[in-house]
């Protein structure tokens, strides 16, 4: 069935969400020094998490044997095959949790820098919302929201780990679901600044993003995959904050195009 006139298909919405991440990159052209500052906390936190991933990779064989004791007495190639599947599932889940934890901690550590990037992105399209929260109240609210998002992320990660043991299907399905689920929770975290400034609760933030579900998944999946590239998270973290600001404005039907913002016309402002 063709999409209704005036509305884009879910696929088009998905890729428009991907485009928001790359629109966030344009801030490198308008505020390069600000974006470099945004790389500093990402680099510091990234070094710690990179060390954790390397440690996991080096000891992956031992960990896979530890979580599959039932396969110890199995004949080959079943024992090795089972442990390879377990290792792949464990690595996928670990990456999901690490990417989210990296984002949460980086946003907390670099909050002053990312708040400046968020304000810069907002200012291009209209007045910056003035948050009634003080620094520390906003800080602890962000920490609380991060923990509330982390819990379902871990639970879904465990579900993906179990799915990883399904032969063939699991090895295809788990990475895809990891990118989609990881992307959703990543976006939920990255949009904290614009939604918090407008007085939105975490529940209201979820509801707003669901109104742009396909675009949210597109933005989130693209960000998640870019964060998997070596140094990708460091370079793209400031751009992701700017792109998430655009996504939040789009979900709230606020202008995301300079021309529309200047004229006051918001009918086409969420392209």
Q: Each residue of 135-165: pLDDT tens digit?
A: 566 666 667 666 777 777 778 777 877 777 7
CA angle centred on 260, ends 113 and 187, rounded to 5°: 40
Lowest mean pLDDT among 80-84, 145-149, 237-241, 263-267: 263-267
Q: Are 19 and 256 in contact (CB under 8 A)?
A: no
Instruction: Note whether residue 122 is domain-resident.
Output: yes
- Structural domain including 58 reads 18-256
Instruction: Note whether residue 261 is domain-resident.
Output: no
Tens of pLDDT along 24-78?
998 888 899 999 999 999 999 999 998 988 998 899 889 888 888 888 888 888 8
Instruction: Note whether residue 228 is domain-resident.
Output: yes
Instruction: Note whether residue 146 is domain-resident.
Output: yes
Q: For residue 214, what pLDDT band results from cuts at 50, 70 and 90? A: very high
Instruction: Note whether residue 5 is domain-resident.
Output: no
To the question of pTM greater than 0.75 for the whole model, the response is yes
Q: What's the pLDDT score for residue 267?
A: 39
On the question of pLDDT at 222 being above 60, the answer is yes
Distance CA 15, CA 214 (A): 8
Q: What's the pLDDT score for residue 12?
A: 93
Q: What's the pLDDT score for residue 268?
A: 39
Q: What's the pLDDT score for residue 263?
A: 46
**Counted domains in the chain:** 1
Instruction: Note whether residue 13 is domain-resident.
Output: no
């Amino acid at each position: 069935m063709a999409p209704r006139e005036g509305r884009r298909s879910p696929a088009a919405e998905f890729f428009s969400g991907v485009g928001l991440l790359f629109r966030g990159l344009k801030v490198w052209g308008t505020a390069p020094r600000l974006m470099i500052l945004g790389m500093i906390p990402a680099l510091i936190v990234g070094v710690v998490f990179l060390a954790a991933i390397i440690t996991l990779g080096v000891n992956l064989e031992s960990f896979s044997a530890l979580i599959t004791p039932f396969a110890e007495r199995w004949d080959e190639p079943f024992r090795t095959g089972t442990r390879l599947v377990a290792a792949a599932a464990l690595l996928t889940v670990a990456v999901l949790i690490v990417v989210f934890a990296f984002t949460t901690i980086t946003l907390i550590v670099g909050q002053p820098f990312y708040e400046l990037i968020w304000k810069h992105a907002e200012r291009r399209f209209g007045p910056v919302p003035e948050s009634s929260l003080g620094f520390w109240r906003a800080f602890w609210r962000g920490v609380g929201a991060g923990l509330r998002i982390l819990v379902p992320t871990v639970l879904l990660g465990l579900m993906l780990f179990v799915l990883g043991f399904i032969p063939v299907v699991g090895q295809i399905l788990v990475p895809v679901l990891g990118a989609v689920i990881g992307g959703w929770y990543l976006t939920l975290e990255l949009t904290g600044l614009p939604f918090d400034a407008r007085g939105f609760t975490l529940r209201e933030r979820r509801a707003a993003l669901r109104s742009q579900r396909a675009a949210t998944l597109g933005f989130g999946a693209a960000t998640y995959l870019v964060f998997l590239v070596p140094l990708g998270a460091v370079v793209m973290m400031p751009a992701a904050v700017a792109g998430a600001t655009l996504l939040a404005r789009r979900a709230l039907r606020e202008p995301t195009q300079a021309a529309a913002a200047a004229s006051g016309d918001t009918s086409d402002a969420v392209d």
